[in-house]
Amino acid sequence: MSLLFYVSNCNFPLYTYGSVLDILRKTIPHTTESRRPTYNQKLQSMLFQNLVGSRTVFHRLYLKQYGYSGSRRVTMSVFLHHGSASRALCLCALLCFASLAQTQEPPALMLASEYRQQIALDDYWISEKLDGVRAYWDGTRLVSRSGNTIHAPTWFTRNFPRLALDGELWIARLRFDEISGIARRAIPQDEDWREVKFMLFDLPQHGGSFDQRLAELQRIVAAEQIPWLQTVPQFRIDSHDALMLELERVTADGGEGLMLHRGSSLYHNLRNADLLKLKTHDDAEATVIAHQGGQGRLTGMMGSVLVEMDSGIRFRIGTGFSDAQRRDPPPIGSRITYQYSGFTARGVPRFARFLRIREDP
């Protein structure tokens, strides 16, 4: 008899009680409903009964959480063996899990707009846009942009300065999936975090201009001398043509793009020209609302997903998926990132292509 459970909290749609039961009935044989409990009127949970059989059962349970704005996924993967003691432990795990699922207030991070050629480049610092996980150090703990705790090993943050830091958890170019998985684990693995760097680009509570914040940030990092605590290199470019050449160089080497930060700007939570992003293609996020079955070679798999933009416009995405992703497509209600090239007259993204499921820590 043994029980090992792993918990991760990510953005995801709120599932109804009925859909939770449907998932359980499909994934756990002979599971029945006992009663409908709540935990502090915030987390809806399930009691387990009649878990029979001698083999190990693996299941994923999607739970509904009340009392918070926005979407949220709560996922528990439980491995358990047959026996009444295991069922009792499973229930205890669920109740303990409820206390872990508390949402913190998201940090008020600075947001980027799209680059436009008309800006005065002399006013901006340029840096590479890292394909990592946005992270905020509040002086005592590391959190995601959604406000969820990122469970880094104690040694990773032990000597961090006791002031707010804004940056990106990053390993290297083209390794986003790895750092995303590492940052979402509730139980950190030292060997994974040995490769992770916290790449800093701002001091949210400094109060000065970005020119001043950058100088102070570089001074702090140099004084701390922590190998995995680094500043993102910032440099100047004086023309649009030179900026495009730098973008070409970065993306040819596997980089995602460039960021432009106005030197005179204060730190704020508005999306304007103080912080800009520049990439070779546009990308955006949308919510999956339906799956369309495939045909021909894709028979029996997902052919495309119907998604909805924040504006309410709906369209289908059928490219960019691997066969493994078609067999296990992005769940309905999940947020995905896609790339595209401009818009049609109706405002629909042109040549939309799936990139990844957005799963914040």
Residue range 17-53, pLDDT digits in tens: 333 334 444 444 333 333 333 323 333 333 333 333 3
Query: What value does the CA radius of gyration of the chain take, rounded to a whole number of Å?
Result: 23
The H or E element containing residue 73 is: strand 73-80
The residue extents of the domains of the chain are 3-100, 111-278, 282-357
Mean per-residue pLDDT for 261-279? 95
Structure-model confidence comparison of residues 52 and 99, the more confident one = 99
The CATH number of 111-278 is which of 3.40.50.10300, 3.30.470.30, 3.40.630.30, 3.40.605.10? Answer: 3.30.470.30
Distance CA 285, CA 358 (A): 8
pLDDT at 258: 97
Provide the token pair at 119: 């800006």
What's the pLDDT band for 358 if we cut at 50, 70, 90?
Answer: confident
Q: What angle is formed at CA 357 by the lines to CA 90 and CA 76, rounded to 5 degrees? A: 5
Provide the token pair at 150: 């990122």
Distance CA 184, CA 149 (A): 9
Respond yes or no: is residue 129 known to be catalytic.
yes
Mean per-residue pLDDT for 343-350? 86
Contacts 24+ apart (CB under 8 A), 90-95: 90/3, 90/48, 90/51, 91/47, 91/48, 93/3, 93/5, 94/45, 94/46, 95/39, 95/45
Q: What distance lies between CA 300 and its chain's CA centroid?
A: 29
* Residue pair 176/131 in contact by the 8 Å Cβ criterion: yes
* Residue pair 202/110 in contact by the 8 Å Cβ criterion: yes
pLDDT at 14: 34
What's the pLDDT band for 167 if we cut at 50, 70, 90?
Answer: very high
Query: For residue 83, is it left (φ>0), alpha (ψ between -120 and 50) or beta?
Result: left
Provide CB contacts within 8 A for 65, sequence distance 6+: 14, 42, 43, 44, 72, 74, 101, 103
What's the pLDDT band for 112 if we cut at 50, 70, 90?
Answer: very high
Query: For 51-65, 111-125, 133-147, 249-263, which range has the lowest pLDDT when averaged over its residues?
Result: 51-65
Collapsing DSSP to helix, strand or coil, 327 comes out as helix
Q: Say which CATH architecture domain 282-357 belongs to.
A: Beta Barrel (2.40)
Residue 67 predicted with pLDDT over 90:
no
Q: What angle is formed at CA 166 by the lines to CA 162 and CA 167, rounded to 5 degrees? A: 120
Structure-model confidence comparison of residues 208 and 283, the more confident one = 208
pLDDT at 51: 33
For the chain, what is the mean pLDDT?
A: 77
Residue 234 predicted with pLDDT over 60:
yes
Q: Which residue has the tokens 């045909």?
A: 295
pTM higher than 0.75: no
Query: For residue 78, is it left (φ>0), alpha (ψ between -120 and 50) or beta?
Result: beta
Structure-model confidence comparison of residues 310 and 65, the more confident one = 310
Q: Which residue has the tokens 């993306």?
A: 251
The H or E element containing residue 198 is: strand 197-202
Which listed residue (26, 42, 64, 129) is catalytic?
A: 129
Structure-model confidence comparison of residues 157 and 17, the more confident one = 157
* Residue pair 199/167 in contact by the 8 Å Cβ criterion: yes
